[in-house]
Structure 1
Amino acid sequence: MTRSDPATQQAGQRVVLVTGPSGAGRTTAIGALEDLGYEPIVNLPLSLIPRLFSGHIGHPVALGVDVRGRDFSASALIELIDTLTRDPNLTLELLYLDARPDVLERRYSETRRRHPLSPDEPPGSGIAQEIDILAPIKVRADVLIDSSEMSPHDLRAELGRFFDTGKIEKLAVSVHSFSYKRGVPRGLDLLFDCRFLVNPHWEPALRPLDGRDPAVAAYVASDPRYQEFHSKVMDLLLFLLPAFVAEGKAHLSIGFGCTGGQHRSVAMTQSVAKALAEAGWQVSKRHRELERKAPDGAGSKTGERA
């Protein structure tokens, strides 16, 4: 991987133009840049791109361009690069994702996709055409990354080195409470079962309350096993979160479940979310079953900050 020496530190809106042969990692790169805070814009006709910047946008943009574009040609793309480079309000960087032809062919074989330039022929023919078409673009690259030996995680990490804006949180953490009777929420990365803790449901005075109430939280915390459980969960999370950041993960969902999703799981969610926020993490929380019970949307809401 190489990088030329453009004046990337000058003032102006940052624009990363992403291109390269199909199968080299362009889609992964666009996703990684989005996670880094760039607005992704993919496969817009080249003739329309300059209009994007006729008004004030401000935030960084990742433009995905490839040979499938309706008006794509190497000369048109070079003209676009020159146009954007001359704009004093923009800081343009050309990111070129590359890979060896044999690797590209293997990737097409593994996914059983057809190459856009040779849909009715073996992928090798289209790959050769595309590499030839893009040759004049490749030599203009500010950042050239060969993904032949890279996993998607490796590619994301490498892009982070070049394009991290330093203006967004590294990892957004969401903590959920739920009832096992209604099923486990989709998309959880980590799941903890709270049903072994003492259940406030059997206390008549606590039954109508939920785990956000101090009396319920204190009752759950009175279980002799609670403190050790809470401590071990926090130790695990504080060990794992930096590792997920290093991997390039942008969001982590943590779930706490109990029988009804009203008392024990809610109390744990409240406590863990608060502790993670105090440790410096960006945390939101959601209580699924309490949301179901609140017809007017009152109570815990999606994305509520810890």
Structure 2
Amino acid sequence: MSMMNETADPPPAPQQLLFVTGLSGAGKSTALAVLEDLGWETIDNFPVRLLKRLVAMPDEARGPLAIGFDSRTRGFVPADIIALVKDLAARDDVTLTFVFLDCSGTELERRFNETRRRHPLAAGRPVMEGIAAERELLEPLRRWAEIMVDTTAMTSNDLQSHIRELFAPASSESAMTLTLSSFGFARGMPPLADLVFDMRFIDNPHWVPALRELTGQDAPVGEHIERDPAFAEAFARIRDLLLMLLPRYQVQGKPYVHIAFGCTGGRHRSVYTAERMAQGLRAAGFSPTVRHRNLGSRAAYEIERDRR
């Protein structure tokens, strides 16, 4: 009599937990916003006494969790937080990382004066005294932190890029949503496009009777456009520009990029160029979505009648 082998379910992956703290004004809110964009669940100023209960709560998704706290957090006592960190670090079901955001007192004073915000520990005193008091309060946590980020010389964009470098998943390069679209200038420009290329310098297939009823998705229209001496060089230059810009958009953490190609009616030249460019970008490793705003607009024929 044969016995069926029963395979036990593998244990769940450890809960990925990130503590983010630091001096007020050093960039905690910015760091948490970037982490949220990267797919982390983020909670700011969660009561310290409830942290252990929060981590113990069952969570089927068990996604990465980032918790921010500072001197304004209810129940904020550095010694209690360190004790909690020690307890969590000893558990097999939790992977804990501790980040501390630091900044020079002079720069923090400038930031508070510039934004006209009150420092949480100033209590009617000069800003610098509040900064000094908070620095002394947080020093035990600063010593415990595994990752120290000094934001003194960083802009907000610099900090965002650094947080992405530290915590973005390996596949984050594909997180940017890239859209290529075609449109007709006769019906107005797309309001939210990041880059717009005007393809009206190309010979217009609309004025060829055999091509008028076709679109840029039909081979005869593409062949007509390719025969224009200006097309090949212009297309290559636009493609090279995009291949230079798109990786830089990724590094800056831009989540959405919309590139629009326009012609008069939005049915021939812009459509063909968007489709061809999508092929070129896919060959370079990108995954664009292609949309044609005016492809189904019959009224564009009438508009093109008097335009070239």
Confirm or deny a common fold (TM above 0.5): yes
Q: Is 1:171–1:249's contact at 8 Å kept on the other side of the alignment?
A: no
Q: Is 1:178–1:265's contact at 8 Å kept on the other side of the alignment?
A: yes
Structure 1 Cα separation of the partners of residues 175 and 290 of structure 2 = 14
Q: Is 1:171–1:282's contact at 8 Å kept on the other side of the alignment?
A: no
Structure 2 Cα separation of the partners of residues 111 and 234 of structure 1 = 42
Which digits, 9 at most, give the CA deviation of each residue in 1:89-148, with x for residues without a partner?
221101111101110111222333333445866543443343333223222211011111
1:51 to 50, 54, 60: 54
Q: Is 2:173–2:250's contact at 8 Å kept on the other side of the alignment?
A: no
1:91 to 81, 91, 95: 95
Structure 1 Cα separation of the partners of residues 262 and 296 of structure 2 = 15
Compared with structure 1, are the counterparts of its residues 121 and 192 closer, same or farther at alpha carbon in structure 2 (3 Å cutoff)? farther
Q: Which residue pairs with 2:14 in the alignment? A: 12
Unaligned runs of 5+ residues in structure 1 are 1-10, 294-306
Q: Is residue 151 of structure 1 aligned with residue 155 of structure 2?
A: yes
Q: Which amino acid aligns with 2:166?
A: F
Structure 1 Cα separation of the partners of residues 273 and 257 of structure 2 = 17
Other structure's SS at 2:173 match: coil
Unaligned runs of 5+ residues in structure 2 are 1-12, 299-308
Q: Which amino acid aligns with 1:74?
A: P
Q: Which residue pairs with 2:271 in the alignment? A: 266
Structure 1 Cα separation of the partners of residues 183 and 244 of structure 2 = 24
Q: Which residue pairs with 1:177 in the alignment? A: 182
Compared with structure 1, are the counterparts of its residues 201 and 102 closer, same or farther at alpha carbon in structure 2 (3 Å cutoff)? same
Whose Rg is larger?
Answer: 2
Q: Which amino acid aligns with 1:255?
A: A
- How much does 1:180 deviate? 3.3
Over 6 Å off, 4+ runs: none
Q: Is 1:40–1:62's contact at 8 Å kept on the other side of the alignment?
A: yes
Q: Is 1:105–1:124's contact at 8 Å kept on the other side of the alignment?
A: yes
Compared with structure 1, are the counterparts of its residues 73 and 183 closer, same or farther at alpha carbon in structure 2 (3 Å cutoff)? farther
Q: Is residue 234 of structure 1 aligned with residue 236 of structure 2?
A: no
5 Å-filtered alignment, 1:59-98, equals 59-98=63-102
Other structure's SS at 1:110 match: helix
Which digits, 9 at most, give the CA deviation of each residue in 1:9-49, with x for residues without a partner?
xx623222211122212233224334544343434444554
Structure 2 Cα separation of the partners of residues 169 and 291 of structure 1 = 33
Q: Which amino acid aligns with 2:119?
A: H
Which digits, 9 at most, give the CA deviation of each residue in 1:208-251, with x for residues without a partner?
55433434433333322111111111122223333444555554
Aligned length: 283
Other structure's SS at 1:97 match: strand
Compared with structure 1, are the counterparts of its residues 262 and 19 closer, same or farther at alpha carbon in structure 2 (3 Å cutoff)? farther
2:128 to 124, 127, 131: 124
Q: Which amino acid aligns with 2:54?
A: R
Return the TM-score normalized by structure 1: 0.76
Q: Which amino acid aligns with 2:162?
A: E
Q: Which amino acid aligns with 1:87?
A: R
Name which of structure 1's ranges 263-272 and 187-196 shifts more when overlaid on structure 2.
187-196
Name which of structure 1's ranges 108-117 and 192-201 shifts more when overlaid on structure 2.
108-117
Q: Is 1:171–1:252's contact at 8 Å kept on the other side of the alignment?
A: no
Q: Is 1:153–1:247's contact at 8 Å kept on the other side of the alignment?
A: yes
2:260 to 252, 255, 262: 255
Other structure's SS at 1:139 match: helix
Structure 1 Cα separation of the partners of residues 105 and 170 of structure 2 = 35
Which digits, 9 at most, give the CA deviation of each residue in 1:145-199, with x for residues without a partner?
1111223343344334433431332562332323334544344333211122223
Q: Which residue pairs with 1:303 in the alignment? A: none
Structure 2 Cα separation of the partners of residues 44 and 212 of structure 1 = 54
Q: Which residue pairs with 1:197 in the alignment? A: 202
Structure 1 Cα separation of the partners of residues 46 and 295 of structure 2 = 43
5 Å-filtered alignment, 1:17-56, equals 17-49=19-51, 50-51=53-54, 54-56=58-60
Structure 2 Cα separation of the partners of residues 273 and 26 of structure 1 = 38
Q: Which amino acid aligns with 1:139?
A: R
Compared with structure 1, are the counterparts of its residues 48 and 112 closer, same or farther at alpha carbon in structure 2 (3 Å cutoff)? same
